[in-house]
Amino acid sequence: MNSCKIAVVGATGAVGQVFLDIAEQRNFPIDEIRLCASTRSVGKKIKFKSQDIAVELCTPEVLDEVDFAFISASGEVSREIAPLAAKHGTVAIDDSSAFRMDNDVPLVVPEVNAEDLNEHKGIVAIPNCSTTPLVMVLNPLMKKSSVRRVVVDTFQSVTGTGAAALTEMKHQSEAILNDGPVTAKEYPHQIAFNVLPHIEPFQENGYTREEMKMLYETQKILHDSNILVSATCVRVPVAVSHSEAIHIEFEDSISPNEVTEMLENEPGIRVVDDPFSDVYPMPIDAAGGDEVLVGRIRKDISHPNGIAMWVVCDNLRKGAALNAIQIAEEMMKRDVVSERNWRK
């Protein structure tokens, strides 16, 4: 399959807009594109490759005419549209959490587990935007030694919530700097000049749903239910890019130099690590880029087999839109897009 017809569901959202940018930048082979969103956006014109394309509703007729439906919307929307797409023989690549833990739905980061795409049944899920960089660094290191435990603290930008959260942060910042009143709608508290150790609802065990996602998704993607992940997910007043402080406990001892060498040879990863020259990954450096940046690689002094590192990536690109496009590219390469190749 050399080219395809696609529908972008959620085309007016932050991830949808980045998706269109990346598709144009990578010259993703599109024969026809349909841009879909909610009723309030119908008729709005969006420019793609110098064409003004009108937004429409995602109807069964639209799904019947495309090869891929890229869905970046709420879980509720995904649960409605993704099965409908599969029913019409269209592959749904879904960015929500709706299908991630479904046993019949592959959860894929192409650099890590592309082979899982061979088993899809019409729906492919994209991991949480904090899980993706974590599994990308764990995967090559596991070839050297088994991973017993991971402790990860995430520092997640407001665009992980959406465009409205970014606007609210800007308005709050302006209000604070001008001694004005601050209102919070997108989060329980103000996000400007603040950090919130609270992403998604809290569970009975004291962790948030976001933190539990990182455990379960990591185990599924890496096909290893023995890996233990303890996460603390924090919302920070950053526009774009998620950062992670990762501490890994291995079965055997592994040196920082070995870690660096393995990660330098891994596609999609760039090591940025010269701390004595003030060189390390930062959100402003990752924003707009496609690579996962890794630095501060060092021995964890609290454990003989431990390694610590600092990881940053653009949550809208590799954390979402880019991963979706890479999945489609890999599926076309493997010739598993056509309904006759997956409908059983």
Do residues 111 and 140 both lie within one domain? no
pLDDT in the model for residue 339: 75
CATH code for the domain in which residue 300 is found? 3.30.360.10
Nearest residue to 295 (alpha-carbon basis) of 319, 259, 323, 329:
259
Question: Is it the case that residue 212 has pLDDT exceeding 70?
Answer: yes
pLDDT of residue 342: 61
Residues belonging to the chain: 344
Q: Could you tell me the pTM of the whole model? A: 0.94
**Is residue 322 pLDDT above 80, yes or no?**
yes
> 242, 247, 303, 313: which is the annotated catalytic residue?
242
Residues 26 and 108 in one domain: yes
**What's the structural domain count of the chain?**
2
Indicate if 139 and 27 belong to the same structural domain: no
Is 190 part of any domain?
Answer: no
Whether residue 242 lies in the annotated active site = yes
CATH of the domain at 102: 3.40.50.720
Domain that holds residue 226: 131-157+195-315
> Do residues 200 and 80 both lie within one domain?
no
**Residue 233 annotated in active site:** no
Asked if the structure places residue 172 within a domain, the reply is no
Taking a C-beta distance cutoff of 8 angstroms, is the pair 228, 149 a contact?
Answer: yes
Residue 165 lies in a domain: no
For residue 103, report the phi and psi dihedrals to the nearest 5 degrees: -60, -25
pLDDT band for 50, please (50, 70, 90 cuts).
confident
Q: Are residues 142 and 111 in the same domain?
A: no
Specify if 188 maps to a domain. no
170 domain-assigned: no
For 262-282, what is the mean pLDDT? 97
253 and 338 together in one domain: no
Classify residue 169: in a domain, yes or no.
no
Catalytic residue among 129, 189, 198, 303: 129
pLDDT of 56: 95
Same domain, 8 and 117: yes
Tokens 């002094």 sit at which residue?
A: 301
Residues 153 and 204 in one domain: yes
* Residue that the structure tokens 């599109």 belong to: 30
272/329 same-domain check: no
Would you say residue 164 lies in a domain? no
| Amino acid letter, residue 281 | P
Mean per-residue pLDDT, 91-102: 95
Average pLDDT, the chain: 95
Contact assessment for residue 49 and residue 32, using Cβ atoms and an 8 Å cutoff: no
Same domain, 328 and 213: no
State whether 224 and 120 are in the same domain: no
Q: Would you say residue 189 lies in a domain? A: no
Alpha-carbon torsion 292, 295, 301, 305, what sign?
positive
**Residue 260 sits in the same domain as residue 150:** yes
SS3 track for 13-47: CHHHHHHHHHHHHCCCCEEEEEEECCHHHCCCEEE
Q: Which residue is it, tokens 């610590």? A: 308
State pLDDT tens for residues 119-131: 999 999 999 999 9
Pair 86, 124: CB distance under 8 Å: no
Mean pLDDT within 8-19: 93
